[in-house]
Structure 1
Amino acid sequence: MNNTSNFIDFREDIYVALYRRWLIVDILGRDKKDNFVLTMQKGALFDYLLKNPKDMHSFLVSFDRLHENSPYEDILYKNDAEFGSYQDVSEFLQSMLVLEAAGYIEVKNIGLDFFIASKKLLVEIKTAQVDSWKTSLSLLKPLVGKSLNILQKNCLR
């Protein structure tokens, strides 16, 4: 009997995913002048990175936000970046629709892009995982202004 079939990837639990994605929007959605700066595509990319610490580490090293020897906690789950999962926006978009319908985020169409920012706070959750996500997002904050092409190019280094 194969025990791996019963192995559940906590990252895909609907409530974990919604909170993680809301956190991305809350921390990265607006600049210091309160302008919307986070697009759906960038939000989905950053969500992918939060779910994959090894890729996050490589990504941050490529932008000199971390030293190559900085420690990180890897995970036991699969990583399908080579199949373009870092470009998939569909699950992130579904979460944004749920969060917008509940009044937690705001979506604005500016030009050809859809930008997202938080409207109200969710319950603050205090766990080591959430603290890790917040730390990673603080390192990503200066990169939100970079083009999607540059971000994606550095995602597979």
Structure 2
Amino acid sequence: MEKTAMKKPIKIDEENRPAILEAFKLENGRATANTLSGAEAFRLAIEAEQELEKRGIPLSKRKGAQAIFSPSGPANAYQYSMLTTFFEIERNSQGWRLMSVRKVTTRPRSTGGMGLIITREQANIITKKALEGLHVAQYA
């Protein structure tokens, strides 16, 4: 994967919408097919936040979570890899930040979508919540 052209993270909020749209536009260059726009960063931030909420992660413990997104690859009939956009966001104490946007090559039939990366503490919270009310048998 290539290094992103972004110089520093951008907070995902309405005030920074123009900068986020520009970051995607710069990375995509003249390409318009199979690329993502800055609107996807806003959508992913909402989706990732909802997933953390659904998993029972308190607002005060969401810092450090990351989400990545890349589109799926082309269909079977398409024999070649294609260039597309990949980006990653990270949660800090104030909200989500766009960390990088870059062009990547995707192969036919590859699966895209969101990938959520959580901290060890967040994983422990999720595990504790999942096991709530259960008793784990201890075998020798």
Give the TM-score, by structure 1 length: 0.29
Give the TM-score, by structure 2 length: 0.31
Considering fraction of residues, name the structure with more strand.
2
* Larger RCO, structures 1/2 (Cα 8 Å, 6+ apart): 1
Larger gyration radius, structure 1 or structure 2:
2
Considering fraction of residues, name the structure with more helix.
1
